[in-house]
């Protein structure tokens, strides 16, 4: 079978990040979900990471403190190319 215009399929993985009060690398602080998704995508694009999908959930455990580094309980998951795992880990993401 010949496939003209077919792009090579690259494996993707889900990576997740536990949002903080205000020390996330994309400089967001507890914005609405749609705004957070936009900031994350823009930040990763600037760092040469293509994001195929983003999911936000409140499945994390919020920390009982108000410092910038405290976890909010919101988890940001991004579907990215497998080759970008190391870059994602450098920004604090972990494999799902």
Percent of the chain's residues with pLDDT above 70: 88
Q: pTM (2 decimals)?
A: 0.85
| pLDDT tens figures, 55-89 | 999 999 999 998 989 999 999 999 999 999 999 99
Count of structural domains, the chain = 1
Cβ–Cβ contacts within 10 Å for residue 79, how many? 15
Strand partners, 13: 80
Task: Give the model's pLDDT for residue 6.
Answer: 57
Please give the pLDDT value at position 8: 66
Nearest-angstrom CA–CA distance, 56 and 58? 7
Residue 2 · residue 67 · CB < 8 Å = no
Whether 7 is covered by a domain: the verdict is no
Question: Which of 1, 87, 10 is closest to 52 using CA atoms?
Answer: 10
Q: Looking at the domain assignment, is residue 67 inside a domain?
A: yes
Write down how long the chain is: 96
CA 89 to chain centre: 10
Q: Do the domain assignments include residue 5?
A: no
> Could you tell me the residue range of the domain that residue 22 belongs to?
12-95
pLDDT band at 30 (very low <50, low <70, confident <90, very high): low
């Amino acid at each position: 079978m010949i496939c003209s215009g077919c792009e090579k399929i690259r494996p993707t993985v889900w990576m997740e990040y536990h949002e903080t009060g205000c020390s996330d690398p994309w400089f967001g602080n507890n914005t609405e979900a749609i705004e957070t998704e936009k900031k994350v995508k823009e930040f990763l694009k600037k760092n040469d990471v293509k994001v195929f999908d983003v999911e936000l959930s409140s499945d994390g455990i919020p920390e009982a403190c108000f410092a910038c580094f405290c976890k909010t309980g919101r988890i940001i998951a991004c579907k990215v190319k497998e080759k970008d795992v190391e870059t994602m880990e450098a920004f604090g993401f972990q494999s799902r």
